[in-house]
Structure 1
Amino acid sequence: MPHVITQACCGDASCVYACPVNCIHPTPDEPDFGLSEMLYIDPSTCVDCGACVSACPVSAIVPGHRLSDEAARFADVNAGHYPEPGPDTARFPVRADWRLPMAPISKPKRLRGATPDELKIAIIGSGPSAMYAADELLKHDQVRITVYERLTQPFGLAHFGVAPDHESTRTIANLFDEVARNPNIRILLNTEVGKDVSLDWIRQTHHAVLWAGGAPTDRPLQIPGIDRTGVQSATSVVGWYNGHPDFALSTPDLGTERAVVIGNGNVALDVARIFTADPERLEHTSIDRTALTALRGSSIREVLVVARRGPEHAAFTLPELIGLVDGPAHVWVDPAELEGVTSEGIEDTTVAAKVDLLLELSRRPKPDEPFIRLSFGYTPQEVLGDDRATGVRFVKTGTDEELVIDAGLVLTAIGYRGRPVPGLPFDDAKGTIANVEGRIVDGDTPLPGLYVTGWIKRGPSGFIGTNKTDSGETVQHLLSDAEAGALPTPKTSPVHS
């Protein structure tokens, strides 16, 4: 059986370049790449060479005959993404005159043109977008990088945003550790730009500044009662159980029997899964010990994850749903909510697979407590209660039919948003630093030496690995500007104690 990509897929496309037969898609050059929830191996062209296994930074690729029971469904997912093989049906035909290069081995390269002997670059933030950018920059031996990270630990969401029971996904930090060992990069922890050091000073001491600060705030849910005690963002809960210092005091009220999560992206499913997990299973993960103690005493028996739209518009990814359905979590969908729902006629194979899985869940008996219930087609109107939240009033989307759900804990999970950075132009409509393909612009004018990457560049979309191609685009422009002599000359050298 061919190799299979499983849930941990980070989408950074390292496997694509390792494959000698072009059987992994979509590639970064294909239009679906930025939208795809994972990468897929074509079983009809995979030659089982194993090159992709070595290239994958999160150990997401395994031989088909070694799939665990929990991951077995991914063989069908990979196969289902491709039509039946044949000369006229191949979705990604292999051209005789072209194939991707084998995994590129990066030898240090010299930049040409007007590039200085030492190209000093500052990167603000040390999350995935920052580290992928650093990895690309360090392929050039003139580059010297200083990373400014306000926290006491590096790698951002790779450390503080991945659920503690997704241990394979967390291994992406090993790749970033390797980047950090390069002698031409230094990471200054506990150093906040705008507080400990000014952006103006950084600009004066480097040829270029690459802002990679992410989208650190939640999109607000603007309904009455949202400020009541017992309401908080799912993001704060993720930070709490991952030990993020910003959320040390964000302990959720676990003394209620039901929690409602408004929104149904991957973060919503992560929180629901952790809230209903057996604490003994979490004992052997990286979960914060204080959070684990609190979860041991939790009274939560049900977590209701509510989406405004129908199942065909579910925001969570197919890999995340498969991990939930076939993993240890107890999860259910009320069959009454899926009455008349079918995957027939849905052309997108990923969406169709999600709908089929949800229908499968609806045919299962209601599980033992604590369990997760996925609900669709309800729009929140108000958080009920006096001083504290006691429930949420919904309406069936598109109707006047009301539904009140009792709950003592309400979490919002409707997405992220970037926040303005003093000294940099901000696109308020998009919630991003104003830029064109990574070059920061004021109106239509590029600002010399200023660049951006990650969510604060493109908005909160994609996955950890999506940042690799995103950062690559920005770095390409930065290096092109360096060779053209378009970068400012530092006025002084950066000196740090």
Structure 2
Amino acid sequence: MLRIAVVGSGPSGVYTAQTLVQQREVPGVRVDVLDRLPAPYGLVRYGVAPDHEKIKSLQGSLRSVLEDERIRFLGNVEVGGELLPTRRLLELYHAVVYCVGAARDRLLGIPGEELAGVHSATAFVSWYSGHPDAVGEVFALPGADRAVVIGAGNVAVDVTRILARGRTELAPTDMPQRALGALADSGVRRVSMVARRGPSQARFTTKELRELGTLPGVDAVVDGAEAALDPAYTDPAAAAALPAVARRNLEVLRGWAQRGPGDGPRRIDLRFYLRPVEVLGGPDGRVRAVRFERTAPDGRGGVTGTGAYEDIGARLVLRSVGYLGVPLAGLPFDPVRGTVPHAGGRVVRAGRASVGEYVAGWIKRGPTGVIGTNRPCAKETASSLLQDAGALTRRELPGDPLEALRAAGLRPVEWPGWTAIEAAEAALGRSLGRGSVKIPDWQGLLTAAGHSGA
């Protein structure tokens, strides 16, 4: 039997486990999927916006994999810490696949970024998604009439949309009650989503962009003159050379520019060719505005500063300019790329592949692609691991790893514990007159899972 640990229960981890048990070349594969959290599904549970029910429904397919009798979910298990260092994990399993994602956001690196009211979009998403690490986050929304979101990817679109939505649209979601109340009572009436480059270079997808134009009581506004700084916005030949998604985005933005602002109670401004250079504070120590430098295309796909500046008022600023992987104690790490060095998914140590240690997902390739991108990534890693199966199985294992984890002082949450959390969240929702509502804190999750003394 080939016993494998997959660290991380998001899409990359689940797809890796699925590939390993469904292949036929190496019989008798058994996989333990370990996660630091008591709940599975990773970013599908804690990163996909709660109002994106279709994408969140992917949990159903991930669930069917984790319910396979050859796969065992073990939540509440932190790898790389004092109780379970990576070297110990490799003693308990023939192989370990790390699918730990990219959990840290990039900083803007500008003065004033430390002011009250400036947050990462990552922290904001974790807060409204009920991530237990974010239970202490405080977002002073009632006093913030204007917000600035810096970035032009799907996460920037998500947080912009959530800020602009009302209680009626958010109440049917599984958003924690505290976050729902804060957003429903929000004073935000105008959100500026700002990109340093042009609309043809934005990273959001057309479906997510279009949603901003269909929100009840919200006007999505584009300055046509500003967007026209992008050659592809006005030149059909330049637009024709773009990928299809960029062409569709330009079509949507042109339509919004032509219709102009409406008279809705809330407004989203999509701004382009503005680079943040400083966050400006007020006498209360809180952000009051963001100063941007106007940029212009440099003819090489980038932008250059023009020396012209504009201040955009804001009492809340969310940066959404990318993610970085976080080093895991015991594994090599490339701090520039934010990834673990690898060759075909095999971890590389001192220039050589380390048979028995593997990576998949964002920690392998960086924060690129969509959820489906994890499938081929997982298959490549699984293929490398299976090629090594002969060498891996020569080593005898000490027994069931679960007993060793418990002996080390860990208290794994197994699948019945997770289903108990689901039942508790459904009950919480019923008590609030809503659907299932997430339990947002560690103690609540562990208690629901049956760890009453945790």
Shorter-chain TM band: 0.7 to 0.9
CA gap 1:302/1:446 in 2 versus in 1, 3 angstroms:
same
Structure 2 SS opposite 1:424: coil
**Preserved CA contact (<8 Å) 1:208 1:487:** no
Q: Which runs of 5+ in 1 are unaligned?
A: 1-117
Map of 1:389-468 to 2, 5 A cutoff?
389-397=287-295, 398-468=305-375
Q: Which amino acid aligns with 1:373?
A: D
SS at match of 2:17: helix
Matched, 1:337 2:226: yes
Matched, 1:197 2:84: yes
Cα displacement (A) at 1:334: 2.0
Match 1:489 to one of 384, 395, 412: 395
Q: Is the 8 A contact 1:378 1:394 kept in 2?
A: yes
In structure 1, which of residues 281, 295, 299 is the aligned counterpart of residue 183 of structure 2? 295
Question: SS of the residue aligned with 2:289?
Answer: strand
In 2, are the aligned partners of 1:230 and 1:388 still within 8 Å (CA)?
yes
Distance in 1 of aligned mates of 2:29 and 2:289: 55
Checking the alignment, whether the CA contact within 8 Å between 2:80 and 2:328 is kept in structure 1 is no
- Structure 2 gaps of 5+ residues are 296-304, 407-454
Q: Which residue of 1 aligns with 2:275?
A: 379
Structure 1 residues 488, 292: closer, same or farther in 2, change over 3 A?
A: farther
TM-aligned CA deviation for residue 238 of structure 1:
0.7
CA-based RMSD: 1.5
Which one scores higher on RCO, CA 8 angstroms, separation ≥ 6?
Answer: 2
**2:166–2:183 Cα contact (<8 Å) kept:** no
TM-score norm. by structure 2 comes to 0.81
SS in structure 2 of the partner of residue 477 of structure 1: helix
Q: How many residue pairs end up in the alignment? A: 379
Instruction: Supply the distance in 1 between the matched residues of 2:29 and 2:215 (Cα, whole angstroms).
Output: 45
Deviations 1:303-340 (A, max 9, x none): 10000001111121122113333454532112331246
Give the residue type in structure 1 aligned to 2:248: A
1:43-58 residue pairs with structure 2 within 5 A?
none
Q: Deviations over 1:222-255 (max 9, x none)?
A: 0001011110001111111110111122232212
CA distance in 2, matches of 1:464, 1:267: 13
Whether contact under 8 Å (1:123, 1:146) holds in the other structure is yes
- Is residue 94–residue 397 contact of structure 2 (8 Å, CA) maintained in 1? no
Report the Cα distance in structure 2 between the residues aligned to 1:462 and 1:247, rounded to whole angstroms. 25
Closer, same or farther: CA 488–382 of 1 in aligned 2, 3 Å: farther
Q: What one-letter code is carried by the residue in structure 1 that aligns with 2:3? A: K
1:355 paired to 2:355: no
Q: Counting helix residues as a fraction of each chain, which structure ranks higher?
A: 2
Which of 13, 17, 26 is equivalent to 1:134? 17
> Shift of residue 436 of structure 1?
1.3
TM-score normalised to structure 1 length: 0.74
Partner residue in 1 for 2:8: 125
Matches within 5 A, 1:65-464: 118-140=1-23, 141-195=27-81, 196-254=83-141, 255-326=143-214, 328=216, 330-339=219-228, 341-342=233-234, 344-345=236-237, 346=239, 347-348=241-242, 349-367=244-262, 368-386=264-282, 387-397=285-295, 398-464=305-371
CA distance in 1, matches of 2:394, 2:189: 59
SS in 1 for 2:268: strand
Displacement after TM superposition at 1:369 (Å): 2.5
* Counterparts of 1:267 and 1:252, CA distance in 2: 18
* 1:401 partner SS: strand
Task: State the secondary structure of the residue aligned to 1:292.
Answer: helix
Q: Note the alpha carbon deviations across 1:193-238, whole angstroms, 9 max, x for none.
A: 1234221111001110000000000011100010111100011111
**In 2: Cα distance, 1:326 partner to 1:280 partner:** 15
Q: Cα deviation per residue 1:259-285 (whole Å; 9 max; x = unaligned)?
A: 001111101110110111121111111
